[in-house]
Amino acid sequence: MARWTPDARGRLQRSAMELFAEKGFDSTTVVEITERAGLTERTFYRHFADKREVVFAGAAELERVLLENIESVVGTMTPFEAVTATLCAGAETFFDDRRDLVRWRQDIIDVNVDLQERELIKLASIASALADALHRSGVDVATAELSAESGVTVFRIAFDRWVREDGATTLSQSIRLLAARLAGIVDLSTRS
Protein backbone atom coordinates (compact mmCIF):
# COMPACT_ATOMS: atom_id res chain seq x y z
CA MET A 1 0.00 0.00 0.00
CA ALA A 2 1.32 3.44 -0.88
CA ARG A 3 2.60 5.59 1.94
CA TRP A 4 0.67 8.62 0.72
CA THR A 5 -2.37 8.68 -1.52
CA PRO A 6 -4.24 11.75 -2.68
CA ASP A 7 -7.70 12.52 -1.30
CA ALA A 8 -7.60 9.83 1.39
CA ARG A 9 -10.44 11.51 3.30
CA GLY A 10 -12.67 11.66 0.22
CA ARG A 11 -11.90 8.05 -0.70
CA LEU A 12 -12.74 6.92 2.83
CA GLN A 13 -16.01 8.87 2.76
CA ARG A 14 -17.05 7.46 -0.62
CA SER A 15 -16.14 3.91 0.39
CA ALA A 16 -17.97 4.21 3.70
CA MET A 17 -21.12 5.67 2.19
CA GLU A 18 -21.18 2.99 -0.52
CA LEU A 19 -20.82 0.26 2.08
CA PHE A 20 -23.41 1.83 4.38
CA ALA A 21 -25.85 1.88 1.45
CA GLU A 22 -25.02 -1.71 0.44
CA LYS A 23 -24.72 -3.44 3.81
CA GLY A 24 -26.22 -1.04 6.30
CA PHE A 25 -24.42 1.20 8.76
CA ASP A 26 -24.24 -1.28 11.64
CA SER A 27 -23.01 -4.15 9.45
CA THR A 28 -20.14 -2.15 7.96
CA THR A 29 -16.75 -2.23 9.68
CA VAL A 30 -13.88 0.23 9.56
CA VAL A 31 -11.71 -2.56 8.13
CA GLU A 32 -14.13 -2.97 5.20
CA ILE A 33 -14.16 0.77 4.60
CA THR A 34 -10.37 1.00 4.54
CA GLU A 35 -10.02 -2.09 2.33
CA ARG A 36 -12.43 -0.64 -0.21
CA ALA A 37 -10.61 2.70 -0.14
CA GLY A 38 -7.23 1.00 -0.43
CA LEU A 39 -6.03 2.61 2.81
CA THR A 40 -5.13 1.56 6.34
CA GLU A 41 -7.15 1.71 9.54
CA ARG A 42 -4.57 4.14 10.87
CA THR A 43 -5.36 6.48 7.98
CA PHE A 44 -9.07 6.17 8.72
CA TYR A 45 -8.57 7.17 12.35
CA ARG A 46 -6.41 10.12 11.32
CA HIS A 47 -9.43 11.53 9.50
CA PHE A 48 -12.40 10.26 11.54
CA ALA A 49 -12.94 9.41 15.21
CA ASP A 50 -15.37 6.63 14.25
CA LYS A 51 -17.59 5.58 11.36
CA ARG A 52 -20.43 7.85 12.54
CA GLU A 53 -18.19 10.83 11.90
CA VAL A 54 -18.03 9.87 8.22
CA VAL A 55 -21.77 10.54 7.96
CA PHE A 56 -21.45 13.88 9.78
CA ALA A 57 -18.09 14.95 8.38
CA GLY A 58 -19.22 18.42 7.23
CA ALA A 59 -21.13 19.41 10.38
CA ALA A 60 -18.32 21.44 11.98
CA GLU A 61 -17.64 23.30 8.73
CA LEU A 62 -21.36 24.02 8.29
CA GLU A 63 -21.58 25.44 11.81
CA ARG A 64 -18.49 27.60 11.21
CA VAL A 65 -19.96 29.02 7.99
CA LEU A 66 -23.31 29.67 9.68
CA LEU A 67 -21.65 31.54 12.55
CA GLU A 68 -19.59 33.68 10.18
CA ASN A 69 -22.72 34.50 8.22
CA ILE A 70 -24.93 35.37 11.17
CA GLU A 71 -22.29 37.69 12.56
CA SER A 72 -22.25 39.54 9.23
CA VAL A 73 -26.05 40.01 9.00
CA VAL A 74 -27.18 40.42 12.61
CA GLY A 75 -28.26 43.98 13.25
CA THR A 76 -29.31 44.53 9.63
CA MET A 77 -32.60 42.63 10.05
CA THR A 78 -34.72 41.06 12.78
CA PRO A 79 -33.11 38.15 14.65
CA PHE A 80 -35.41 35.59 12.99
CA GLU A 81 -34.69 37.08 9.56
CA ALA A 82 -30.96 36.91 10.33
CA VAL A 83 -31.25 33.23 11.28
CA THR A 84 -33.30 32.51 8.15
CA ALA A 85 -30.81 34.33 5.90
CA THR A 86 -27.96 32.48 7.58
CA LEU A 87 -29.57 29.06 7.14
CA CYS A 88 -30.32 29.88 3.50
CA ALA A 89 -26.66 30.81 2.95
CA GLY A 90 -25.63 27.51 4.53
CA ALA A 91 -28.09 25.63 2.33
CA GLU A 92 -26.71 27.34 -0.77
CA THR A 93 -23.14 26.48 0.20
CA PHE A 94 -23.59 22.92 1.45
CA PHE A 95 -26.80 21.43 0.06
CA ASP A 96 -28.52 23.08 -2.91
CA ASP A 97 -26.22 21.58 -5.57
CA ARG A 98 -25.87 18.17 -3.90
CA ARG A 99 -29.40 16.83 -3.57
CA ASP A 100 -28.52 13.30 -4.76
CA LEU A 101 -25.59 12.97 -2.36
CA VAL A 102 -27.62 14.48 0.50
CA ARG A 103 -30.52 12.12 -0.26
CA TRP A 104 -28.12 9.15 -0.23
CA ARG A 105 -26.76 10.27 3.15
CA GLN A 106 -30.26 10.84 4.52
CA ASP A 107 -31.36 7.35 3.45
CA ILE A 108 -28.54 5.95 5.59
CA ILE A 109 -29.56 8.10 8.57
CA ASP A 110 -33.25 7.25 8.21
CA VAL A 111 -32.71 3.56 8.91
CA ASN A 112 -30.44 3.99 11.93
CA VAL A 113 -31.81 5.34 15.22
CA ASP A 114 -28.36 6.24 16.56
CA LEU A 115 -27.62 8.32 13.46
CA GLN A 116 -31.04 10.00 13.73
CA GLU A 117 -30.23 10.93 17.31
CA ARG A 118 -26.83 12.26 16.26
CA GLU A 119 -28.48 14.35 13.55
CA LEU A 120 -30.82 15.92 16.13
CA ILE A 121 -27.86 16.63 18.41
CA LYS A 122 -26.05 18.37 15.54
CA LEU A 123 -29.14 20.49 14.83
CA ALA A 124 -29.44 21.38 18.52
CA SER A 125 -25.78 22.39 18.52
CA ILE A 126 -26.39 24.68 15.53
CA ALA A 127 -29.43 26.25 17.22
CA SER A 128 -27.44 26.86 20.39
CA ALA A 129 -24.50 28.36 18.49
CA LEU A 130 -26.80 30.68 16.52
CA ALA A 131 -28.62 31.77 19.70
CA ASP A 132 -25.27 32.50 21.38
CA ALA A 133 -24.13 34.54 18.37
CA LEU A 134 -27.35 36.55 18.42
CA HIS A 135 -27.04 37.15 22.16
CA ARG A 136 -23.40 38.25 21.85
CA SER A 137 -24.52 40.81 19.29
CA GLY A 138 -26.97 42.35 21.74
CA VAL A 139 -30.17 40.38 21.21
CA ASP A 140 -31.87 39.44 24.49
CA VAL A 141 -31.60 35.77 25.47
CA ALA A 142 -35.27 34.84 24.95
CA THR A 143 -35.45 36.45 21.50
CA ALA A 144 -32.13 34.90 20.51
CA GLU A 145 -33.24 31.42 21.58
CA LEU A 146 -36.70 31.71 20.01
CA SER A 147 -35.22 32.97 16.74
CA ALA A 148 -32.53 30.29 16.56
CA GLU A 149 -34.76 27.38 17.62
CA SER A 150 -37.55 28.48 15.27
CA GLY A 151 -35.11 28.92 12.42
CA VAL A 152 -33.57 25.49 12.92
CA THR A 153 -37.06 23.95 13.10
CA VAL A 154 -37.88 25.61 9.78
CA PHE A 155 -34.57 24.28 8.40
CA ARG A 156 -35.33 20.73 9.60
CA ILE A 157 -38.82 20.68 8.07
CA ALA A 158 -37.63 22.30 4.83
CA PHE A 159 -34.72 19.85 4.62
CA ASP A 160 -36.98 16.85 5.17
CA ARG A 161 -39.34 17.97 2.39
CA TRP A 162 -36.56 19.02 0.01
CA VAL A 163 -34.54 15.82 0.33
CA ARG A 164 -37.61 13.67 -0.47
CA GLU A 165 -39.08 15.66 -3.35
CA ASP A 166 -37.96 15.73 -6.96
CA GLY A 167 -39.00 19.32 -7.65
CA ALA A 168 -36.84 22.15 -8.87
CA THR A 169 -37.04 24.03 -5.55
CA THR A 170 -33.72 24.45 -3.78
CA LEU A 171 -33.35 23.94 -0.05
CA SER A 172 -32.73 27.66 0.43
CA GLN A 173 -35.99 28.45 -1.39
CA SER A 174 -37.83 25.92 0.78
CA ILE A 175 -36.39 27.51 3.92
CA ARG A 176 -37.54 30.99 2.80
CA LEU A 177 -41.04 29.73 1.99
CA LEU A 178 -41.49 27.94 5.32
CA ALA A 179 -40.00 30.86 7.28
CA ALA A 180 -42.54 33.17 5.64
CA ARG A 181 -45.30 30.69 6.47
CA LEU A 182 -44.18 30.56 10.12
CA ALA A 183 -44.05 34.37 10.27
CA GLY A 184 -47.61 34.44 8.95
CA ILE A 185 -48.78 31.92 11.53
CA VAL A 186 -47.17 33.89 14.35
CA ASP A 187 -48.63 37.13 13.02
CA LEU A 188 -52.12 35.60 12.89
CA SER A 189 -51.81 34.24 16.42
CA THR A 190 -50.85 37.65 17.82
CA ARG A 191 -53.96 39.32 16.32
CA SER A 192 -56.44 37.47 18.51
pLDDT tens digits for range 126-168:
999 999 999 999 999 999 999 999 999 999 999 999 998 877 8
Q: 151: which residues sit within 8 A by CB, 6+ positions away?
A: 80, 83, 84, 86, 87, 127, 130, 179
Q: Give the Cα separation of 187 and 161 in Å (integer).
A: 24
Instruction: Give me the domains of the chain, ranges plus CATH numbers.
Output: 8-54 (1.10.10.60), 58-191 (1.10.357.10)
The CA R_g of the chain, rounded to the nearest whole Å, is 19
Q: What pLDDT, on the 0 to 100 scale, is given for residue 165?
A: 86
Q: How confident is the model at residue 190 (pLDDT cuts 50, 70, 90)?
A: low
Burial of 168 (0-12, 13-18, 19+ CB in 10 A): exposed
Q: How confident is the model at residue 188 (pLDDT cuts 50, 70, 90)?
A: low
Q: 90: which residues sit within 8 A by CB, 6+ positions away?
A: 62, 65, 66, 69
Give the type of residue at 129: A
pTM, two decimals, is 0.87
Q: How confident is the model at residue 7 (pLDDT cuts 50, 70, 90)?
A: confident
Q: 73: which residues sit within 8 A by CB, 6+ positions away?
A: 82, 85, 86
Give the type of residue at 173: Q
pLDDT digits (tens, 9 = 90+) for 47-86: 999 999 999 988 889 999 999 999 999 989 999 999 999 9
Q: Give the Cα separation of 170 and 168 in Å (integer).
A: 6
